[in-house]
Amino acid sequence: MLFDLTGKVAIVTGSSRGIGRAIAERMAEHGARVVVSSRKAGPCQEVADGINERAGAERAIAVPANISAKPELAALVETTLARWGRIDTLVCNAASNPYYGPMAGISDDQFRKILDNNVLANHWLVQLAAPGMIERRDGAIVIVSSIGGLKGSPVIGAYNVSKAADMQLARNLAVEFGPHNVRVNCIAPGLIRTDFARALWEDPTVLRYYNDVTPLRRIGQPDEIAGAAVFLASPAGAYVTGQTIVVDGGATIAGS
C-alpha cells in the first residue's frame, strides 16, 4: 500500500512523451487518475487512450496546454477540477531549452524563454493547483529539474540556471506549504533516453563518454524517473519535502 495512488488525481505536464509520459503511465498503473498535458492535443490524446485501454476504464484525460500561456494553464486546472473535482498531485515536467552554447552568446529573448518556461510556468501552476491541496491538507508537488542545476556547463548554462532555480522553488514552497501537509520536491535526472536529449545520446562519442563516466555505465530510461515520481506522490514519500532526489546512475558523484 505504500505506493498506492488509488483515488488520487494527478496533472502531469509535458506528458505526451519521454519522462512525462512515463510518469503519467506509471501513476495510472498505481491507481491514479491522470491528466495528460502538452502543447498538442493529438499526442496527448494518444497517451490518454493508451492508458485507458490498458486500465479497462477511464483513468486518463487529455488537456493540451502551452506552459508559456498562463490562461491555458488556468484552463488545465479548471478542466481537471470540473472533471474530477480535485488535484492531489502536480508534476511540473514540461521545460524548454532553445539555446546551445556559451552564455555570452544567448539573446535576451532566449534567456527569458528558458526562465519563463522552466521556472515561472511552474510557479503559475503551483499557484493555481495548490489552494485545493492546502484546503484539504494533503497534496504532493513534484518539479522535474536536472542534475544540470547542480553543476556548470559551457553549453547549457542558462538551462542549468533555470533548473537550479527549480530546486530553490521547491525548497521555498516546501517551507510555505509544509504546515498545510502539502509536500514539494524536485527530481534531478541525469542523461535519460528521451527525445529532449536525443542530440546527446544519438551521438556515439557523447554516449560513450556518458557511459564511461557514469558509475552504472549507462544512461537512464524514462521509467527510472517515473519510479521516483510515484514514490514522491505516494504514502511512501509522506515525510519527504523540500528535497532534490538525484536519479543519474551516479554521474554527479563520479567526479568527472
Query: How does pLDDT run across 24-37, given as a tens digit for each residue?
Result: 999 999 999 999 99
For residue range 144-161, list pLDDT tens digits in order.
999 999 999 898 999 999
The residues facing 11 across adjacent strands are 35, 90
Work out the burial of residue 55: count CB atoms within 10 Å of its CB; fewer than 13 is exposed, 13-18 middle, 19 or more buried: middle
Q: How confident is the model at residue 255 (pLDDT cuts 50, 70, 90)?
A: low
Residue 141 maps to a domain: yes
Distance between CA atoms of residues 135 and 152, nearest Å: 39
- Which CATH number do you get for residue 123? 3.40.50.720
Residue 256 maps to a domain: no
For residue range 62-78, list pLDDT tens digits in order.
999 999 999 999 999 99
Please report the pLDDT score of residue 2 as a whole number.
Answer: 96
For residue range 178-237, list pLDDT tens digits in order.
999 999 999 999 999 887 776 776 778 888 888 888 999 998 999 999 999 999 999 999
Distance between CA atoms of residues 75 and 217, nearest Å: 43
Q: Does the pLDDT at position 14 exceed 80?
A: yes
Residue 182 maps to a domain: yes
Instruction: Based on the residue annotation, tell me whether 159 is a catalytic residue of this protein.
Output: yes
Tell me which of 99, 100, 159, 239 is the catalytic residue: 159
Q: Does the pLDDT at position 256 exceed 60?
A: no
Residue 18 maps to a domain: yes
What cell was used for 102? 556559451
Residue 203 maps to a domain: no
Number of domains in the chain: 1
Q: What is the mean pLDDT of the chain?
A: 95
The amino acid occupying position 61 is: I
User: For residue 150, is it left (φ>0), alpha (ψ between -120 and 50) or beta?
Assistant: alpha
Domain range enclosing 59: 9-191+222-251
Residue 196 maps to a domain: no
Distance between CA atoms of residues 113 and 14, nearest Å: 16
Q: Does the pLDDT at position 102 exceed 90?
A: yes
The amino acid occupying position 88 is: D
Residue 137 maps to a domain: yes
Nearest-CA neighbor of 59 among 81, 27, 86, 82? 27
How many other C-beta atoms lie within 10 A of the C-beta of residue 120?
17
Pairing type for strands 33-37 and 60-62 reads: parallel
DSSP labels, the chain: -TT--TT-EEEEET-SSHHHHHHHHHHHHTT-EEEEE-S-HHHHHHHHHHHHHHHTS--EEE----TT-HHHHHHHHHHHHHHHS---EEEE--------B-GGG--HHHHHHHHIIIIIHHHHHHHHHHHHHHHHT-EEEEEE--GGGGS--SSBHHHHHHHHHHHHHHHHHHHHHGGGTEEEEEEEE-SBSSSTTHHHHTSHHHHHHHHHHSTTSS-B-HHHHHHHHHHHHSGGGTT--S-EEEESTTGGGS--
Residue 214 maps to a domain: no
